[in-house]
Amino acid sequence: MQGQCKLCDKEALLKESHFIPKFVGKWVKKTSITGYIRINDEEHKRAQDIAKEYWLCGECELLFSDWERNFANNIFYPFVKDEKSEAFYDSWMSKFCASLTWRTLTYIRSKNDRSSKSDEYNKYLDDTEKHLRKYLRGEVLNLDGYEQHVFPLDAIESTTYQDLPPNINRYFLRTMAMDIVGNDKEIFIYTKLPKFIILGIVKATNPKVFRARRIAIKSGKINPREYRWPDGFHSYIINKANEVSESYDKIPEKHKDSFDEFIKKNPGKAAKSKLFEAIQYDHEMFGDKIHR
């Protein structure tokens, strides 16, 4: 498809670009029970692939692919397959995170009505998108205030929190999502991968309080440590996990029955899947509440 590249603005033959990297969707499919992905806003359908559109030219697609490959091989697969909890990274990490934030920002805005937000809010997002594009194209060397923060996630085995959804482990370990979170006072770009949250700052009143997870521009290390989310963010996570659970409730009964039948016929495949593992974590915490 011929068109204008969203990143470099050149007229070119556009490639189908995945907003969540393709390797993530492939891993979720491969480690599911049935080999399909179900999209939250189309509960009645089983999908073979995740969201993609003709967005980038071939040159920019290759640029993104290089950063994705480094993240996949050095961080994503070691964490999701080998249960690693620390990894070193180089300059590709900040580029990868910024590319995810830029993709989430541009994709969500393409689906939303700008007039529903204030001029100030829209200007913050406009400025963020422009700076991220310049950073990804190498026109500026720093992210300035548009920091990228990565929060590795793991299974929750116990908690004192009273209102955790009974699918919280499945949300942490399996779900993919994109969103713009906040208001005129604080705005974040939220990209959810299995076992990771990437949070891009648009505007924050006190970013220092959760700077422990800031990604360095040149090199750094991801490892276990205490960290804070922005104020109110835990409530957002809980709401999103509840939304996923409610989406599952909307799946037609005949599809749920076929899922159960598949498990009965393929118990070995089901037991080895990462989805079944996440279900087990939830069952150990919540018991039969996971079947609400």
pLDDT score of 259 more than 90: no
Identify the residue with better confidence: 164 or 258.
164
Look up residue 195 and give its amino acid.
K
Look up residue 32 and give its amino acid.
S
Residue 258: predicted pLDDT: 62
Q: How many domains does the chain have?
A: 1
Residue 156: predicted pLDDT: 85
Question: What pTM was computed for the model?
Answer: 0.90
pLDDT score of 99 more than 60: yes
Residue 239: predicted pLDDT: 93
pLDDT score of 262 more than 90: no
Tell me the pLDDT band of 46, cut-offs 50, 70 and 90. Answer: very low
Averaged pLDDT, 231-238:
88
Residue 225: predicted pLDDT: 75
Residue 163 · residue 237 · CB < 8 Å: no
Residue 60: predicted pLDDT: 96
User: Tens digits of per-residue pLDDT, 20-43?
Assistant: 999 999 999 889 877 666 555 444
Classified as helix, coil or strand, 244 is helix
Residue 150: predicted pLDDT: 95
Give the residue numbers spanning the domain of 234. 2-291
Residue 42: predicted pLDDT: 44
pLDDT score of 222 more than 50: yes
Mean pLDDT of the chain: 86
pLDDT score of 104 more than 90: yes
How many residues are listed for the chain in this entry? 292
pLDDT score of 14 more than 70: yes
pLDDT score of 148 more than 80: yes
Residue 49: predicted pLDDT: 54
What is the C-alpha to C-alpha distance for residues 62 and 285, in angstroms, rounded to an integer?
43
Residue 236: predicted pLDDT: 93
Tell me 214's DSSP state. Answer: B
Averaged pLDDT, 54-82:
95
Averaged pLDDT, 244-263:
66
Question: Which distant-in-sequence residues (6+ apart) come within 8 Å of 122 by Cβ?
Answer: 114
| 17, 21, 23, 25, 113 from 61: Cα distances, Å | 7, 11, 14, 17, 27
What is the C-alpha to C-alpha distance for residues 264 and 285, in angstroms, rounded to an integer?
24
Give the residue among 77, 105, 34 at the shortest CA–CA distance from 194. Answer: 77
Residues forming a β-bridge with 89 = 220
Range scoring the smallest mean pLDDT among 86-100, 170-184, 185-199, 220-234:
220-234
